[in-house]
Structure 1
Amino acid sequence: MPEEVIFESESDRSREEIAAYLRTVADNLESGEGITLKSDGDSLSLDPPTHSTFEVKAEREGPEGGPKELSVEFELEWPEDGETESESGELEIE
């Protein structure tokens, strides 16, 4: 399936700043509000449904034998025309 990037932002942030962004997303999800992303004059509003697919991925990337970079990605995914079916999977984040 082809991917179309409709918003993107990347910048160095402190742990505290990143936590504040994630807290805002969490608060909006919990209260049933949408999420608005803004950067450099671009803006995108999204309204995740009650149930979405939640993916957590940790990766190590880099050239073989060269320096590596670690990342953790949090992704919410849902069809544009409706909700995903509720699935239970075991996930713990500490």
Structure 2
Amino acid sequence: MPEEVLFKSESAQERAQIASLLRRVADNLEDGEPITLKSGSESLTLEPPARPTFEVKAEREGPADAPGELSVEFELEWDETDGEDGDSGPLEIE
């Protein structure tokens, strides 16, 4: 199935600024509130279900024998029709 990008924002920010944005997402999830993403004139509001799938992925991009770019991705996924996805087991973050 082809992917359609509904919203994208990418910018260098201080770690404290990133933590504040993630905290806002966490607060909205905990309170059952929608999540509204805004950047410039773009805006998108999403309403995650009570049990979305939470995916965490750490990656290194670049040649295997040289330093590359590291990333960590946090992703919430859900099916638009029934609102819930699968489960691969518990996650811990320390």
Q: Which runs of 5+ in 2 are unaligned?
A: none
In the TM superposition, 1:1-94 aligns within 5 A as 1-84=1-84, 87=87, 89-94=89-94
Q: Secondary structure at 2:36's aligned position in 1?
A: strand
Residue 65 of structure 1 deviates from its aligned partner by 3.9
What TM-score results when the alignment is normalised by the length of structure 1? 0.92
Runs of 5+ consecutive residues of structure 1 not aligned to the other structure: none
Deviations 1:58-83 (A, max 9, x none): 00001344440000000000011222
Q: CA RMSD, aligned part only? A: 1.5
Deviations 1:25-55 (A, max 9, x none): 0000000000000001000000000011110
Name the aligned partner's letter for residue 34 of structure 2: G
State the TM-score, normalized to the length of structure 2: 0.92
> How many pairs are equivalent?
94
